[in-house]
A and B are shown apart, each in its own frame.
Chain A
């Protein structure tokens, strides 16, 4: 089972994908926003993880769909990982785009594609939904059509219903 955790590290967010077996940190991502202690809340909550890049048309499009789903299921945390090779490309793009700015604090960069490689992510956009136990529930790559959104929505709904008690604790 893959786990995704986040820790505060002197103003930077260290996001690590670890397995139950070795619990070795596999990736350290750099925040693109203004990271604060909120990142620690990722633990024990469902996470919608999106890999994107500034050159990716479909990534910008699905932000509108993900925003809609995140409003429907506010207990799901959102984490976006840029695969841009240049940090400035990602930063400049975020500043241009109102929806990206809205989620500014949840943006990270994985220029070396360490987390992407560990999670087997080959392309952008890729969206992965983890439940609160960090089990992968839904994964979709490429432009999301209505079927993809329905499956993602169903996954988020199922997690919300099954874990609402734990989340509210």
Chain B
């Protein structure tokens, strides 16, 4: 039977007087269950990092584990607590962190008698993910990431197979080699730009194309490359960079992810999905991806059609020319951008091809700050008509390696009369340790500040009943 832990509930005033009476945290009874519940999806033989499946071996990491928990480095959940409740939040609570601290302070006690009592408490198996459309990248071949880089972001294109409008309602990835697959992001590219992204990708040697900053080829950060493209396809680049959006993602520890109930993202016939794989070869040099599977759930209709709205200043992406985003050598800088929900409604209705008159309200369901390697911290907030600021997501310590979507457990509804006066704000702070100026742009040496938010349209009642 597990001990009841009361230490963290005690008022600080009484802590010292009770300290002797409270039994210190013990490895098998208190720590191992937390490790098994929160760490094994990554730290296992089948996972992406060294295994914590052997309790005795795991104990040898006691100091490193406690230090990582105390510093909020592990589990790697970037969102600061206290703002909103997020779906699939695997971070440790303050009470759980206190148990680790208590255990470390007591000298990492381990009671052999507790070992026999310990019952492995593995995280529950994820529910079965029923896929409607599955495809394997690099099928029958292999992709060896660039061995001269610690990371390679490589994009592979999937032709969207449906000939009618479909809503994506869920996604699951099965990376081919978990030792090098760090995370992946799927971007949708609309039918009018699909041929262009195919063409650009095919021009690069090997499988797919290099794509650090999103679905578009890295080389397009170069003005000459863009000028050449403009000659071939006038207006094509501008259209392409606006005609793509975050569709779904996978990070270590994630199984299938179903979008919020009754919602889905519209995919038009002729679209493509650009899978941006983040390969991390630094740890496992010489290893290749021999086929990564992507599974999608789709629906013909959803009650609340949705989009991932990209909140960013488009001018930042051309900063070498317009100087709108500059991060000086050896310095820091902060950039902020906002849009009203009226703008966001207009974007969503345009993408989803819904008339404004059909919209009853907007639901804001997630926040997802995206920066590159010079990102230091970032946040997304909502400011209402009275100027009150509500923090939706605060990332005090940005880490490119652990970017992900933070879906709210409870959506935020913005009614029609508040669309104009309510704004969504993204703010990014950068730190540049190099001896060169860093600019906003698409390349791996450039920076970005984007918030992707999952936006659902609440249709007027009489329309919502009818299948769309």
Chain A residues packing against B (C-beta within 8 Å)? 55, 57, 60-61, 63-64, 68-69, 72, 85, 96-98, 122-124, 141-143, 145-147, 149-150, 152-154, 157
Partner of B150, one of A61, A145, A146: A61
Interface string of B332-375 (1 = CB under 8 A from A): 10000000000000000000000000000000000000000111
Give A74 Cβ to nearest chain B Cβ, in Å.
Answer: 13
Task: Find the B residue at minimum CB distance from A153.
Answer: B433
Contact residues in B for A55 (Cβ distance below 8 Å): 50
Partner of A145, one of B60, B64, B397, B434: B397
Give A110 Cβ to nearest chain B Cβ, in Å.
Answer: 14
- Is the Cβ of A146 less than 8 Å from the Cβ of B63? no
Contact residues in B for A61 (Cβ distance below 8 Å): 150-151, 280, 282-283, 401
- Is the Cβ of A142 less than 8 Å from the Cβ of B73? yes
Give A164 Cβ to nearest chain B Cβ, in Å.
Answer: 16
Other 9 A-B pairs with CB < 8 A, given A60-B283, A64-B149, A97-B282: A57-B49, A98-B148, A124-B64, A143-B401, A145-B398, A145-B400, A147-B397, A154-B330, A157-B330
Contact residues in A for B377 (Cβ distance below 8 Å): 147
Contact residues in A for B330 (Cβ distance below 8 Å): 150, 153-154, 157
Give B279 Cβ to nearest chain A Cβ, in Å.
Answer: 12
Contact residues in A for B174 (Cβ distance below 8 Å): none
Interface string of B370-386 (1 = CB under 8 A from A): 00011111000000000
Knowing A153-B330, A154-B330, the reply to whether A123 touches B63 (Cβ < 8 A) is yes
Task: Find the B residue at minimum CB distance from A117.
Answer: B63
Could you list some 6 contacts between A and B, CB below 8 A?
Answer: A57-B280, A61-B150, A61-B151, A72-B434, A146-B375, A146-B376
Task: Tell me if B81 counts as interface (CB < 8 A to partner A).
Answer: no
Contact residues in B for A147 (Cβ distance below 8 Å): 376-377, 397, 431
Task: Tell me if B432 counts as interface (CB < 8 A to partner A).
Answer: yes
Knowing A61-B282, A96-B285, the reply to whether A146 touches B373 (Cβ < 8 A) is yes
Give A26 to B430 CA distance when docked, in angstroms. 40
Give A57 to B432 CA distance when docked, in angstroms. 23
Tier of interface size on chain B: 35 or more
Task: Tell me if B58 counts as interface (CB < 8 A to partner A).
Answer: no
Contact residues in B for A124 (Cβ distance below 8 Å): 64
Contact residues in B for A96 (Cβ distance below 8 Å): 285-286
Task: Find the B residue at minimum CB distance from A116.
Answer: B63
Contact residues in A for B68 (Cβ distance below 8 Å): 123, 142
Contact residues in B for A57 (Cβ distance below 8 Å): 49, 280, 282-283
Contact residues in A for B67 (Cβ distance below 8 Å): 122-123, 141
Task: Find the B residue at minimum CB distance from A60.
Answer: B282
- Is the Cβ of A63 less than 8 Å from the Cβ of B282? yes
Contact residues in A for B285 (Cβ distance below 8 Å): 96-98
Task: Find the B residue at minimum CB distance from A69.
Answer: B433
- Is the Cβ of A146 less than 8 Å from the Cβ of B398? yes
Interface string of B260-295 (1 = CB under 8 A from A): 000000000000000000001011011000000000
